[in-house]
Chain A
Amino acid sequence: MPIAFTTTPGLVIYLTAGDPDLATTRDMAIAAIDAGADVIELGVPFSDPLADGPVIQRASERAVARGTRLSDVLDCSLDIRRLRPNAGIILFSYLNPVVRMGLTEFCQAAKANGADGVLLTDMIVEEGVEYLAAMRENGLAPVFLAAPTSPDDRLKAIAENSQGFVYAISRVGITGTQSELATDAKTLVDRLRRFTTLPIALGFGVSTADHVREVGKFADAAVIGSAIVALIEKTPAADAPKAVGNFIRALRPGGAAR
């Protein structure tokens, strides 16, 4: 299982697959890994991304408009896996494209295409019986979201059913950048620690080097999503991999290697 955070904090980088195009997504993922990303979250674009803020909504809309399909994202995962055998790859999707493909078929394909794990935005632990069984059969790590609003019994179930890492949401709300990390964030991570020894990655609103340094004080990894997607939005496709690499290097000045 290559999901491992080798630096403090580790970096999880979210990319909306197919924005601006699949080849660029692959090249940006490689650039991100080479710049120090531990895990790539490969986002499957969806027509109705109700947990996402405007930046990822727009990226998703562009990728869907280009005809990007779940099967294309799986192909992209395989390309990344072949080029960088040791990086972590998580497929990040809303449920419906997965249901349409079939849970079993999806999990088999995810495994065959080099993914290490899956995060389904609108799948809660209680509804995940068939999903978790299919994930287990294929040796994939399910990653669940934990929210500041989740009571302890839910955090416990989320921690127990996650593998690889637990994704802690830094604040109530949708994805998007913000100027300061919410105080909710540390409280949530501390609460989660009582239920798990898995690494805890903190996402939603983590966008700057200062944030990453702050996250490193209490969590194991930072998830950067909207800030990268916004950068990609304003950068010509040909320059995007380099820009993504530079952005990630600047998030951890000095490298902070452990």
Chain B
Amino acid sequence: MGTATQLTSPAPMPAASTPGRFGVYGGRYVPETLMAALLELDHAYAAAQADEAFHMELNGLLKDYVGRPTPLYFAKRMTEILGGAKIYLKREDLLHTGAHKINNALGQALLARRMGKQRIIAETGAGQHGVATATVCALFGLECVVYMGEEDMRRQELNVFRMRLLGAEVRGVSSGSATLKDAINEAMRDWVTNVRSTFYILGSALGSHPYPTMVRDFHRVISKESKRQIMEHEGRLPDAIIACVGGGSNAIGAFYEYIPDRNVQLIGVEAGGRGTALGEHAARFQGGLPGVLQGTYSYVLQNDAGQVASTHSVSAGLDYASVGPEHAMLHDSGRATYTSATDDEALEATKTLSRTEGIIPALETAHAVAEAIKLAPKMGKDKIIMVNVSGRGDKDIGIMTREMDLSGAAAVSA
């Protein structure tokens, strides 16, 4: 599909009066059976938001259990080697369980507990959200079932074991492409069936209202902290913030507080995969069209008959056919720009960050690093780039072992 037809939504679905809209995007497109649960969640979340005790408990656990605030670290060697803008890294990879995902999993688990739900379900792509959910369920003594595509179980084997060790049941999903999209379908089927007893901890800024708003709110802490931290380091805001975008939860968390700051460029990086043909990538803003997938109206990679396309990325966490609706709005308004990095670029960026800073990023994160590597040399040395290091790479060592040839390599090739 060419980019020329990108914005010709054949049927604008606005109904702007309904809740959970981001411009024309978002909304609630679900089977009726889930509506009562979504409304219950909406009310419970609003009540929690207004309750000081909820925030105190959440913030206390974020500090003492999760490890917030995370550092904002000046990547001096990488900056020198790239020879352009100063690069700062927001270290979400240092959080408990190794990625930003726990910010949201913890928030939703506290909400589930308030609502008296004892059974938790979740979907996971790369496994980081599954691990974060299994972790908070262990912490609060909740039953936990995680749906995961069988393809993802193969490529993120380590995280499958971690979830099981934490006491969660991991259910493999073999339908469709056996990746994140299919895991969400199966989690939604479970939720429809067990809706009265079960809380669905959705792991990205996706799905029906109130999820995109709620997930974003739980990750806002990333940009709240980074704004204060960059002021301490530099006395000014960065020129660009770069984050990878699968569903888009780490990116919306890293961007959100800067949206009013028009001089701060917001750059989301999608998975360019191994080619530009439909099915070879997960770059929704380059090949997708507005549509409805899994409860929300946003950009969707699809064929001309409206069947959702299969996707490919070396990183399971970016391998998804749609994107959070708030990103769709930021894209259309031009407030954020969305680019992509290929599998090869991400793998190369993984090496670069590992060898210049001693930080092995998750393959998802490596897409954002790849963009920084492209962008920094084009910017002056007085400019500042902030990269959201959404997760650490331990979970990807298996893939990296297969995909990288390190024989004879000794120094960074810069």
Contact = CB atoms under 8 A, between A and B. Distances in A.
Contacts of B36: 147, 149-151, 154
Interface in B25-79: 27-37
A47 B311 CA distance: 13
A145 B10 CA distance: 25
Interface string B1-40: 0000000011111110010000000011111111111000
A129 B185 CA distance: 26
A144 B37 CA distance: 18
B193 A97 contact: no
B15 A100 contact: no
Given A100-B291, A127-B13, A130-B15, A122 B307 contact: no
Nearest to B304: A100
Nearest to B33: A147
A145 B35 CA distance: 11
Contacts of A61: 175-176
Contacts, number: 141
Contact of A96 (B185, B189, B293): B293
A151 B15 CA distance: 22
Interface in A85-121: 94-106, 121
Interface stretch (A20-28, A169-177, A223-231): A169-177
Contact of A150 (B30, B35, B175, B184): B35
A124 B32 contact: yes
Given A100-B302, A149-B35, A48 B293 contact: yes
Contacts of A154: 32, 35-36
Contacts of A174: 189, 192-193
B295 interface: yes
A123 B13 CA distance: 11
Interface in B138-196: 175-176, 181-182, 184-185, 188-189, 192-196
A50 B206 CA distance: 15
A47 to B, nearest CB: 4
Contact of B192 (A96, A106, A173): A173
A125 B161 CA distance: 43
B33 A149 contact: yes
Nearest to B27: A127
A76 interface: no
A215 B57 CA distance: 50
Given A104-B11, A105-B10, A95 B189 contact: no
Interface string B185-216: 10011001111100000000000000000000
B69 to A, nearest CB: 38
B175 A98 contact: no
Contacts of B294: 48, 50
B17 to A, nearest CB: 8
B19 to A, nearest CB: 9
A130 B192 contact: no
Given A61-B175, A96-B291, A173 B33 contact: yes
B171 to A, nearest CB: 14
B195 A48 contact: no
A149 B294 CA distance: 20
A147 B39 CA distance: 14
Given A48-B181, A96-B293, A150-B32, 16 more contacts: A50-B189, A51-B31, A61-B176, A96-B308, A99-B9, A99-B11, A99-B291, A100-B289, A122-B30, A122-B292, A124-B29, A130-B13, A147-B35, A148-B33, A172-B33, A173-B33
21 contacts: A48-B293, A48-B308, A50-B184, A53-B189, A61-B176, A71-B305, A99-B10, A100-B304, A102-B11, A103-B11, A104-B11, A122-B30, A122-B31, A122-B295, A124-B30, A126-B28, A145-B31, A147-B31, A149-B35, A169-B33, A173-B193
